[in-house]
Chains A and B, each alone.
Chain A
Amino acid sequence: MDLFGPILSAAPQLLDPSVIIAMIVGTAVGIAVGALPGLSATMGIAVLIPLTFSMSPLVALGMIAGIYNGAMYGGSIPAILLRIPGTPAGIATVFDGHEMAKQGRARLALDISLVSSSLGSAVSAIALLFLAPPLAAIALKFSPADYFWLALFGLTTISVLLADNPAKGFLSACLGLAIGMAGIDTLTGTERFTFGTLDLLSGVDIIVLLTGLYAIPPALDLMLGGNAVAKDELSIGGKRESFRWRSLIPVWIRSSFIGLVVGLIPALGGNIAAILAWNEQRRATPEKDKPNYGKGMPEGLAAPECANNADTGATLIPALTLGVPGNAVAAVILGALLVHGLRPGPELFRDNAQTVYGFMLTMLVTAGLMYVVGKIGARAFINVLRLPPRLLGPMILALTTVGVYAVHNSMFEVWMMLGFGLLGFVMERLSVPTAPAVLAVILGPMAEESLRRAFLISRGDPTYLVASPISWVLITLIVVTLLTPVWRSIRARRKPTGEDAAAEA
């Protein structure tokens, strides 16, 4: 009962009209910020913090909870409708979500994404409410060696994205690794690939790369009059489609779990959660359905959307209990807490139980609000596709330019984004996949820095890399991921293919 006491006593605060309004406004702003390429939850919350100075803490935190949850879902809207992920966490949503839209099932795709996101957020908020203190300790268990294996495990998922042409996929991944190397080397302070300019000293921001590679090529396509979702297909999308929602239940359970675990580990984030969930979902399906992934499988859309939202509350667990934010958004939220005199750490739950439990409850309530706001908004979103493509293209260009400029107030980054846009356009024309490049930019530096840090700590002793149980679990996962396709292809070669597929199904 000790567990429910503080929650029940904090609940009435949420009935305050100003808190309710704050949550609704926050959720709507969050969805909008997430849906606009270039803008992210981090920025939305950072911009909001000074405005909350005069608000009561829970009003401010309710709004922040809404933005955080809403932005994670909002990113899927342009991903489905326009093939442009609004946030890095939306890359995996494009794989099946946009294909569904192309098949005229845009409305269903938006519904699946909304339901999956709301459920993911709710599961995450409940975990945050009940399990925060016991789970928090996990965040500190990860040593630099474990981080290295973790990043390597993330990189192995790239191999699944190579399906059609491994050489081109590797090319893309190598490009990402090279881009990830630019900037000041954290471990020695040396400049790498900066070409003597100031602007590259901090490296390439992931938002700049993502927006360039993902938002510009579709915008160019639209202006050239090709590749958009055709309008006659849209009319089918407007109708209600019967869908067996129950079939998604195992997907949600699996993906929520993945999202929760990834969220607990600092340094990873919604983007990795979504990719891993998509990958695991694909692996868990019978062999005969596998080739359908990336071609409009509802499960392939539900998995990443559920996982990236399940990440939101989980990231706050180490942030609130230990003051260790798992990602940029959580770090900004910690800043907001501090402004209101709420110092993260164990004492937060003791001295400010009312407010902190109130905040965690707003995470749960905004998960539900998101469903309502998203459902109403869906009618409006789908109209985006009714705009003439030649108008939509320039609009996307303008919005992304403003969005990317706003990240660091840097014109250089706008030019860099447009450069990546052209690169992405060329890559698409040559059917070189762009997702491996983005993943490599996120995970490459993490793998490199962790490995070198591990060797610094152990003074060059390689056994440090295999010293912890976490490392062993991760190494096993890597081996399994890499060997499964090899083993399958050997088995497939031994038996006639048809029989094999039938046996597996």
Chain B
Amino acid sequence: MKKTLAIAGALLATSIGTTPAFADYPERPITMIVAYTAGGGTDIAARTLVPYIEEELGGATITVLNRPGAGGEIGFTALSQAKPDGYTIGFINTPNLLSIPIARNARYSLDSFAPVADIIYDPGAFSVRPDSGITNLEELVAFAKENPGAVTYGTTGIGSDDHLAALRFERLTGVKFEHIPFSGNVDVRAAVLGGHIMMASMNVSETVPDAEEGTLVLLGQMAEKRWDGAPDVPTFQEQGFDVIMGSDRGIAAPAGTPEEILTTLSEAIGRAVQNPEFQEAAKKQDLALSYLDSEAFRAHLEQLDATLHTLWDEEPWVQE
């Protein structure tokens, strides 16, 4: 009995002793939730980055935990409900993180997260087969006006950034495209290469290899400025169409995580992303790196959330 009490006392003492001392963070393994399957794009990006963050955190251990399903909602929900002690962090992907709570009742909102850092911003893009004869957005709009319903476009699904971007573009130009949702980027690519649909709405990093090969023509990228990996492709804004859409893969912690820990993490991740070895690995994988610190990432998410709400009010992408 005495012994048990002593042990309990010792345990209590250690726990009291360590709680306020964030300086020692991290003193045990950190779990990183990835809301997509092992071997997928986000998973591979996460696992490529993790060793460099571990190095920056003084040899900490970070374990990647895949919680896939429901377009990311299962993993996002798990992250939002985790204990905000800095030992559970996770990847959050836009627009899914923000579009899911708009389209259905989700158990989290943007406020459930404390953004840590944005890692990747992959702008959206439109691309067509070379034999379509279309080379820029203006020609696309002209073609769609002359041939109503002839432009079929594929996306990775309802509510994806690809779909939302096309909705915004249609609204802006007054043309009407036929939306053909597929279940993955691979299917969209196969359908457009095979000529079964006319246009693909895919992220620019996914389209660049085909554009270099000459099998697809990139009509434009939906970024504020051109991505380094596609310096010759004009943005939508340059061509006079105000569409900014893309997909972020950033890191967040549950809301309520102590400020000191968030800063430690954000800085460590910032240095990890700058590591030349990581930059080299990212280049191999066509990752569109775009680091934002926690403040800038939060602002970016809030702005995107507002944009999506406006879009939903004008044109809800899921009909009841």
Report if A and B associate in a common complex: yes
> Is B181 touching A49 in the complex (CB atoms < 8 A)?
no
Given the known interface contacts A186-B181, A202-B69, A408-B69, the answer about A338 and B190 at a Cβ–Cβ threshold of 8 Å is no
Chain B proximity of A268: nearest CB distance (Å): 13
> Is A335 touching B194 in the complex (CB atoms < 8 A)?
no
Q: Which residue of A lies closest to B150 (CB)?
A: A459
Given the known interface contacts A186-B181, A189-B103, A339-B48, the answer about A140 and B190 at a Cβ–Cβ threshold of 8 Å is yes
Q: Which residue of A lies closest to B64 (CB)?
A: A50
For the complex, what is the distance from the CA of A335 to the CA of B44, rounded to whole Å?
Answer: 7
> Is B159 touching A409 in the complex (CB atoms < 8 A)?
no
Chain A proximity of B208: nearest CB distance (Å): 10
Q: Which residue of A lies closest to B197 (CB)?
A: A457
> Is A331 touching B73 in the complex (CB atoms < 8 A)?
no
> Is A188 touching B158 in the complex (CB atoms < 8 A)?
yes
Chain B proximity of A205: nearest CB distance (Å): 9
> Is B74 touching A199 in the complex (CB atoms < 8 A)?
yes
Chain B, interface size: which category? 35 or more
Q: Is there a chain B Cβ closer than 8 Å to A201's Cβ? A: yes
Per-residue contact bits, chain A 363-377, to B (CB 8 Å; 1 contact, 0 not) = 000000000000000
Partner of A457, one of B65, B68, B180, B320: B180
Q: Is there a chain B Cβ closer than 8 Å to A322's Cβ? A: yes
Q: Is there a chain A Cβ closer than 8 Å to B135's Cβ? A: no
List CB contacts (< 8 Å) of A444-478 with chain B: 449, 453, 456-457, 459
> Is A201 touching B68 in the complex (CB atoms < 8 A)?
no
> Is B213 touching A184 in the complex (CB atoms < 8 A)?
no
Binds A, one of B20-28, B35-43, B138-146, B239-247: B35-43
Per-residue contact bits, chain A 35-56, to B (CB 8 Å; 1 contact, 0 not) = 0000000110111011001000
Per-residue contact bits, chain B 55-96, to A (CB 8 Å; 1 contact, 0 not) = 000000000111111110110010000000000000000000
Chain B proximity of A293: nearest CB distance (Å): 35
> Is B213 touching A347 in the complex (CB atoms < 8 A)?
yes
Partner of B40, one of A202, A266, A335: A335
> Is B39 touching A322 in the complex (CB atoms < 8 A)?
no
Count, chain A residues at interface, CB 8 A: 50
- Among B39, B107, B178, residue most surrounded by chain A Cβ atoms (within 10 Å): B39
Q: Which residue of A lies closest to B149 (CB)?
A: A459
> Is A190 touching B284 in the complex (CB atoms < 8 A)?
no
> Is B157 touching A345 in the complex (CB atoms < 8 A)?
no
For the complex, what is the distance from the CA of A143 to the CA of B193, rounded to whole Å?
Answer: 11
> Is B318 touching A188 in the complex (CB atoms < 8 A)?
yes
For the complex, what is the distance from the CA of A199 to the CA of B114, rounded to whole Å?
Answer: 25
For the complex, what is the distance from the CA of A57 to the CA of B44, rounded to whole Å?
Answer: 16
Q: Is there a chain A Cβ closer than 8 Å to B249's Cβ? A: no
Q: Is there a chain B Cβ closer than 8 Å to A141's Cβ? A: yes
Chain A proximity of B139: nearest CB distance (Å): 22
For the complex, what is the distance from the CA of A45 to the CA of B40, rounded to whole Å?
Answer: 12
For the complex, what is the distance from the CA of A71 to the CA of B66, rounded to whole Å?
Answer: 22
List CB contacts (< 8 Å) of A271-328 with chain B: 322-325
For the complex, what is the distance from the CA of A186 to the CA of B180, rounded to whole Å?
Answer: 10
Q: Which residues of A contact B190 (CB under 8 A)?
A: 139-140, 266, 322, 324
Q: Is there a chain A Cβ closer than 8 Å to B186's Cβ? A: yes
Chain A proximity of B151: nearest CB distance (Å): 11
Partner of A449, one of B41, B66, B179, B183: B183
> Is A332 touching B186 in the complex (CB atoms < 8 A)?
no
Q: Is there a chain B Cβ closer than 8 Å to A3's Cβ? A: no
Chain A proximity of B175: nearest CB distance (Å): 16
Given the known interface contacts A142-B194, A201-B73, the answer about A331 and B44 at a Cβ–Cβ threshold of 8 Å is no
Q: Is there a chain B Cβ closer than 8 Å to A198's Cβ? A: yes
Chain A proximity of B276: nearest CB distance (Å): 15
Partner of B193, one of A188, A201, A322, A331: A322
Q: Which residues of B contact A340 (CB under 8 A)?
A: 284
Q: Is there a chain B Cβ closer than 8 Å to A388's Cβ? A: no
> Is B69 touching A345 in the complex (CB atoms < 8 A)?
no
Q: Is there a chain B Cβ closer than 8 Å to A341's Cβ? A: yes
For the complex, what is the distance from the CA of A332 to the CA of B179, rounded to whole Å?
Answer: 28
Per-residue contact bits, chain B 208-230, to A (CB 8 Å; 1 contact, 0 not) = 01101100000000000000000
Q: Is there a chain A Cβ closer than 8 Å to B298's Cβ? A: no
Q: Which residues of A contact B189 (CB under 8 A)?
A: 323-324
For the complex, what is the distance from the CA of A449 to the CA of B68, rounded to whole Å?
Answer: 22
Given the known interface contacts A46-B39, A53-B48, A457-B178, the answer about A408 and B194 at a Cβ–Cβ threshold of 8 Å is no
> Is A186 touching B74 in the complex (CB atoms < 8 A)?
no
For the complex, what is the distance from the CA of A341 to the CA of B71, rounded to whole Å?
Answer: 27
Chain B proximity of A266: nearest CB distance (Å): 6
Given the known interface contacts A50-B47, A186-B182, A324-B189, the answer about A343 and B68 at a Cβ–Cβ threshold of 8 Å is no
> Is B69 touching A49 in the complex (CB atoms < 8 A)?
no
Q: Is there a chain B Cβ closer than 8 Å to A144's Cβ? A: yes
Partner of B318, one of A142, A189, A322, A338: A189
For the complex, what is the distance from the CA of A186 to the CA of B160, rounded to whole Å?
Answer: 11
Chain A proximity of B304: nearest CB distance (Å): 19
Q: Is there a chain B Cβ closer than 8 Å to A191's Cβ? A: yes
Partner of A453, one of B103, B180, B285, B320: B180
For the complex, what is the distance from the CA of A298 to the CA of B39, rounded to whole Å?
Answer: 37
Q: Is there a chain A Cβ closer than 8 Å to B19's Cβ? A: no
> Is B66 touching A202 in the complex (CB atoms < 8 A)?
no
Partner of A189, one of B38, B65, B73, B159: B159
Q: Which residues of B contact A332 (CB under 8 A)?
A: 38-39
Q: Which residue of A lies closest to B160 (CB)?
A: A189
Q: Is there a chain A Cβ closer than 8 Å to B319's Cβ? A: yes
> Is A190 touching B318 in the complex (CB atoms < 8 A)?
yes
Q: Which residues of B contact A190 (CB under 8 A)?
A: 318-320
Q: Which residues of B contact A430 (CB under 8 A)?
A: none
Chain B proximity of A315: nearest CB distance (Å): 13
For the complex, what is the distance from the CA of A199 to the CA of B43, rounded to whole Å?
Answer: 20
Between-chain CB contacts (< 8 Å), 11 pairs: A45-B39, A139-B190, A184-B70, A184-B71, A198-B77, A199-B69, A324-B190, A338-B284, A409-B67, A410-B69, A459-B149
Top 6 nearest A-B pairs by Cβ distance?
A189-B158, A46-B39, A201-B70, A140-B194, A341-B284, A46-B38
Known contacts A144-B180, A459-B178; 16 additional CB pairs below 8 A are A42-B39, A47-B38, A50-B47, A53-B51, A186-B181, A188-B158, A189-B103, A198-B69, A201-B71, A322-B190, A323-B189, A324-B193, A341-B285, A347-B212, A453-B180, A453-B181
Q: Hey, which bits of chain A sit against chain B, CB under 8 A?
A: 42-43, 45-47, 49-50, 53, 139-144, 184, 186-191, 198-199, 201-202, 266, 322-325, 331-332, 335-336, 338-341, 343, 345-347, 408-410, 449, 453, 456-457, 459
